[in-house]
């Protein structure tokens, strides 16, 4: 039997909320018998759903944060929004983790401001697990911190290594620094500084990773600043999407291609699904007290299910506590 875990879920998060959120929560509850969900959202949405489902509680909220609102301002102003309330219940100990497929910026701001940072962590970082060839890779920061210092990257690497061990099941993770050359001395002034710090302080450091190494399966964790990480993540999504479009066009252009396409359609759709962000259960925000996972805005019900289950797994693996210990240990050493 797994540890009992309570997760708050933002019923209003995502392009197709609340429909897909409710469907995803239903699936998550069915998949995990030791999971309780506190559903945050309008009373008329969360009430009936909680009444109809075991291990689900309703937390009525009166406000919502739109995708295009200024994240920090919205979080400060809308105290009764589903995102802020979801985070507050974790802060108050009434839940262990929070999941939303809503505004990434608002979730980051709420988790950081309301749940608070793990002691010693300078900046929480948003990670994204990607389907690298042969083994998954955690890329971070993918957007929480557009401007970084080298010592933030050291902490991102420490937190990433904890996540790789506890959640991805890699006993001795290889952590790379995203850079524009393999040799330690390559790259921008910032990248060189980060390289030197990682080389000196991080036992798991495996050297620089170039852009082509992210998905090649040679690293378990790749760290970078939130600007480069976000550009990279969206470049991967964009490249994949354009390639599939090109492929469709190429196959539809000939009779032989069309026939072949009929035969390979299922395999390619399966592949596309496997590569999609939906499969990976959202992006963990590392370095906040309690678990926080943010789903893609276009999350399907399955993505919501996977996101909620990933949040529960993060709680059960005590990722926050292990990060606190790793960061404290490093602080003592320094």
- Which of residues 245, 321, 329, 331 is near its own copies by CB under 8 A? 245
Minimum CB–partner distance for residue 102 and its own copies (Å): 16
Fill in the per-residue mask, 142 to 181: x = in contact with its own copies (CB under 8 A), - = not in contact: -x--xx------------------------------xxx-
Q: Which of 92, 169, 254, 321 binds its own copies (CB under 8 A)?
A: 254
Is the CB of 151 or the CB of 193 nearer to its own copies?
Answer: 193
Question: In the window 55-94, what residues touch its own copies (CB under 8 A)?
Answer: none
Residue 23 vs 268, nearer CB to its own copies? 268
When asked if residue 264 is in the footprint of its own copies (CB under 8 A), the reply is: yes
Please report how close the Cβ of residue 15 comes to its own copies at its closest, in angstroms: 16
- The residues near 52 (Cβ < 8 Å, ≥ 6 apart) are none
Which H, E and C letters describe the chain, residue by residue? CCCCEEEEEECCCCCCCCHHHHHHHHHHHHHCCCEEEEEEECHHHHHHHHHHCCCEEEEECCECCCCCCCHHHHHHHCCCEHHHHHHHHHHCCCCCEEEECCCHHHHHHHHHHHHCECCCCCCCEEEEEECCCCCCEEEECCCCCCCCCHHHHHHHHHHHHHHHHHCCCCCCCCEEEECCCCCCCCCCHHHHHHHHHHHHHCCCEEEEECHHHCCCCCCCEEECCHHHHHHHHHHHHHHHHHHHHHHHHHHHCCHHHHHHHHHHHHHHHHHHHHHCHHHHCCEEEECECCEEEECCCCCCHHHHHHHHHHHHHHHHCCHHHHHHHHHHHHHHHC
Of 27, 3, 71, nearest to 306 by C-alpha is: 27
Among 2, 169, 234, 321, binds its own copies (CB under 8 A): 234
Q: Which of 77, 253, 321, 329 binds its own copies (CB under 8 A)?
A: 253
Among the listed residues 226, 282, 284, 287, the single contact to its own copies using CB under 8 A: 226
Tell me which stretch binds its own copies (CB under 8 A): 1-9, 22-30, 234-242, 282-290. Answer: 234-242
Q: Which of 4, 27, 240, 279 binds its own copies (CB under 8 A)?
A: 240
Among residues 201, 257, 276, 325, which is the contact residue for its own copies, using CB under 8 A? 257
Q: Contacts with its own copies in 174-193 (CB under 8 A)?
A: 178-180, 187-191
Which residue, 126 or 170, has its beta carbon nearer to its own copies?
A: 126
User: Which residues make up the interface to its own copies (CB under 8 A)?
Assistant: 132-133, 143, 146-147, 178-180, 187-191, 210-216, 224-228, 230-243, 245-247, 250-251, 253-254, 256-257, 259-264, 266-268, 270-271, 274-275
């Amino acid at each position: 039997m797994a540890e009992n875990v309570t997760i708050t879920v933002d019923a209003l998060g995502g392009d197709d909320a609340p429909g897909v959120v409710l469907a995803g929560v239903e699936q998550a509850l069915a998949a995990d018998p030791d999971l309780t969900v506190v559903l945050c959202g309008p009373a008329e949405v969360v009430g009936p759903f909680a009444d109809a489902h075991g291990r689900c509680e309703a937390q009525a909220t009166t406000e919502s944060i739109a995708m295009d609102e200024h994240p920090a301002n919205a979080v400060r102003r809308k105290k009764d929004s589903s995102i802020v309330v979801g985070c507050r219940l974790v802060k108050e100990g009434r839940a262990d983790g929070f999941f939303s497929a809503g505004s990434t910026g608002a979730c980051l701001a709420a988790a950081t401001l309301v749940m608070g940072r793990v002691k010693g962590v300078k900046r929480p970082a948003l990670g994204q697990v990607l389907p690298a060839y042969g083994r998954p890779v955690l890329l971070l920061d993918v957007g929480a911190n557009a401007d970084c210092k080298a010592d933030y990257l050291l902490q991102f690497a420490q937190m990433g290594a904890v996540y790789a061990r506890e959640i991805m099941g890699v006993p001795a993770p290889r952590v790379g620094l995203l850079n524009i050359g393999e040799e330690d001395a390559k790259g921008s002034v910032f990248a060189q500084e980060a390289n030197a710090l990682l080389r000196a302080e991080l036992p798991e450091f495996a050297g620089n990773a170039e852009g082509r190494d992210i998905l090649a399966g040679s690293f378990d964790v790749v760290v970078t600043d939130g600007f480069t990480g976000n550009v990279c993540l969206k470049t991967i999504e964009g490249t994949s999407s354009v390639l599939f479009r090109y492929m469709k066009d190429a196959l539809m252009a000939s009779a032989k291609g069309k026939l072949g396409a009929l035969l390979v359609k299922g395999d390619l759709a399966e592949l596309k699904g496997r590569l999609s962000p939906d499969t990976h259960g959202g992006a963990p925000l590392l370095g906040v007290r309690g678990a926080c996972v943010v789903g893609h805005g276009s999350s399907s019900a399955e993505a919501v299910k996977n996101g909620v289950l990933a949040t529960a797994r993060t709680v059960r693996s005590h990722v926050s506590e292990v990060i606190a210990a790793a960061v404290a240990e490093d602080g003592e050493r320094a």
